[in-house]
Structure 1
Amino acid sequence: MNRLNTEAFVLFGQHILWSDMIGNILGLIALALGWRRSLLSWPVQFASGLILFGAFYGHLTGSAGKQVVVMLVALYGWWQWNRSKGRTEDGGDGHIVPRFATRTERAAMAGAAAAGTVAVALLFEAYPSLSWDPWPDAYIFVGTVVAMYAQARGMVEFWIAWLLVDLVGVPLNFANGYAFSGFVYVIYGALVLWGMRDWWLRSRQGSQPALEGAPA
């Protein structure tokens, strides 16, 4: 991992680390696979989280913690999507049909995001060694949990959650020297908008009983 944290090249005056570059390229691939609702999205996301954890650890605690969450939720997402056997009726690669969250689910996720952000930020403030930017780090950490949980449950809202995370993640990465992460998250933004449109259209074609009735 130490070799991965060495400089790959310089882009627009920004020093690009191998770990930052490789981890985020895998993240882009995982997002594209998620768009296709492919099970492969989850192991690729796990690999991305593992590499980016090594990149951020010791510098951006919230972002490093985010990658731990990415890996854990990737395991949950793999299990959740794999519960639905066979292929989707619309010919996609995935095992789910996207759906919108219910009002109760939206309220629960919004409440959990707000309460979780405050709790984690206060923890970071109480232990300054954990984070240089307590509130942005907490926002990214908790927002990632919510976004990946919604993805694992097949909710269209997961794209919106990722957009909200990126609004803070992009400037934070640039400010802390992780330029490649910043550039990639700009691309994420475009992919998220296209993916959100695709999932929204597919959600109108039907619902997935296996996921809607399954326990969290």
Structure 2
Amino acid sequence: MNSLNSEAFTLFGQHILWSDMIGNTFGLIALALGWRRSIWSWPAQFLSGAILFAAFYGHLTGSAGKQAVVVGVALWGWWQWNRGKGEGRDGSVTVRFASWRERGCMVGAAAVGTLAVSALFHAYPTLSWDPWPDAYIFVGTIVAMYAQARGMVEFWFAWLLVDVVGVPLSFANGYAFSGFVYVVYGALVLLGMRDWWLRSREAGQPVLEGAPA
């Protein structure tokens, strides 16, 4: 392996890059750990973001920006879940549905943010080849990870909406492994969504498992 951006193998005529494969594998691990409400979801997301940032940098600006956000928010999410210990009856953070006000704020922030970032990309074409989808991915990632860090069930819906655009865009631009793992992502999102929804209805159910004492 000469570099992370070299070809690992070919699958169904698609060239699979090492960085794409390794980064998305850590992404799958992070999603599975998030489903299990493990605090170790955040380090896995950090590694996934760092590797995919290196893969996308210079090619897909919006996707690279998304990964930079993943790296930063993963650190904040780790801190947030540790700081949130003590909110539940057993001393842990609890999963919950967002209030209608919180939902409105997130939707509004996503809409305004997408417009603002898209305007920036249109004003400076060198920043993005695909201003609208790149802006959508960038802002949607911030909203999704914010919701996860706050223990909101809606984070699963937000990730699904981001991936609907982000994964096909990556596939179309030569990052085929992102496309191949989409089915697995979808299954984990649906399972995680169901699990968090059920737990949100159980008073005092912890979000964190294996958190430091």
TM surpasses 0.5: yes
**Aligned equivalents of 1:149, 1:2: Cα separation in 2:** 36
Match among 184, 191, 195 for residue 198 of structure 1 = 195
C-alpha displacement of 1:174? 1.3
**Aligned equivalents of 1:125, 1:131: Cα separation in 2:** 8
Retained in 2: the 8 A contact 1:52–1:67? yes
Residue-by-residue CA offset, 1:193-213 (whole Å, 9 max, x unaligned)? 11000000000002589xxxx
> 2:30 aligns to what?
30
Aligned structure 1 segments of 4 or more residues deviating by more than 4 angstroms: 86-90
Structure possessing the higher relative contact order (Cα contacts under 8 Å, 6 or more residues apart): 2
Distance change in 2, residues 1:207/1:127 (3 Å): farther
Percent identity for Structure 1 against Structure 2: 79
> 1:58 aligns to what?
58
**Aligned equivalents of 1:103, 1:127: Cα separation in 2:** 36
Moved more, 144-153 or 164-173: 164-173
**Aligned equivalents of 2:182, 2:140: Cα separation in 1:** 15
**Aligned equivalents of 2:8, 2:155: Cα separation in 1:** 32
> 1:159 aligns to what?
156
Structure 2 gaps, min length 5? 207-213
Retained in 1: the 8 A contact 2:199–2:205? no
> 2:84 aligns to what?
84
> 1:117 aligns to what?
114
Match among 170, 173, 176 for residue 170 of structure 2 = 173
Residue-by-residue CA offset, 1:103-135 (whole Å, 9 max, x unaligned)? 110000000000000110111111111111100
Q: How many pairs align?
A: 206
Structure 1 gaps, min length 5? 210-216
**Aligned equivalents of 1:97, 1:124: Cα separation in 2:** 38
Matched to 1:102, the amino acid is S
C-alpha displacement of 1:181? 1.0
- Calculate the TM-score normalised by the size of structure 2: 0.91
C-alpha displacement of 1:97? 1.9
**Aligned equivalents of 2:197, 2:32: Cα separation in 1:** 16
**Aligned equivalents of 1:139, 1:87: Cα separation in 2:** 33
Distance change in 2, residues 1:187/1:88 (3 Å): farther
> 2:41 aligns to what?
41
